[in-house]
Chains A and B, each alone.
Chain A
């Protein structure tokens, strides 16, 4: 049982480059989320998808776009990477009653 799988685990980008972080869950959850983790700030919500076909902004959406490709997959795109986007990114999904969130292993992204 894989749970929530994120790819890649590590990535280095140059300023201005673009990339997509992939996330897939095999638990049949409706809701999926993207968070970023920065030192001293905990995890902050970037975007979320309450159900297939819907996406909404979280606390820190600027510079990002998302796609809910189907019920399993939720991707995060950086169109033009900036050093301020250097962070650890987590994808998560929720049980039906939102009583628990399951997290992927995280992606450490460095923008130079």
Chain B
């Protein structure tokens, strides 16, 4: 079974600065997807960024980028120019992409990291 570990229960950053959230995972599979989800106080789960394991290039979405290290099984999220609206719980998640399709999109989540942004 796959596991996802977020070792930072809480992180803080000053507005306009950069912060990196860590995520490691364990899997024996070669094909999979990795995700970062944001959960603000409203509880809504919002997809921040997605990385396909077969792609060597790190995904970027505006101020959000990842550092995907497949051999090390590491998937960190970098938030640049942090804004007050970035304050939230962030979840790292894994999804198998097995050829048989039997994963059916099931996600395995990490424990979450609470990000505080100071003005």
Chain A, range 57-112, C-beta contacts under 8 Å to B: 58, 88, 90, 92, 94, 98-101, 103, 105-106, 108
Q: A42 touching B45 by the CB < 8 A rule?
A: no
Known interface pairs A43-B91, A88-B43; A98-B104 also in contact (CB < 8 Å): yes
Stretch at the interface among B13-21, B60-68, B72-80, B106-114: B106-114
- Check B105 against A94 for contact (C-beta < 8 Å): yes
Q: Does A2 contact B (CB under 8 A)?
A: no
Would you give the shortest CB distance from B75 to chain A, in whole angstroms? 14
> In the bound complex, what is the Cα–Cα distance between A94 and B47 (angstroms)?
12
Interface size on B, residues (CB 8 A): 24
Chain A proximity of B80: nearest CB distance (Å): 23
Report whether B109 and A42 are in contact in the complex, using a CB–CB cutoff of 8 Å: yes
Interface on B for A, CB 8 Å cutoff?
4, 6, 9, 33, 42-45, 47, 50, 91, 93, 95, 97, 103-112
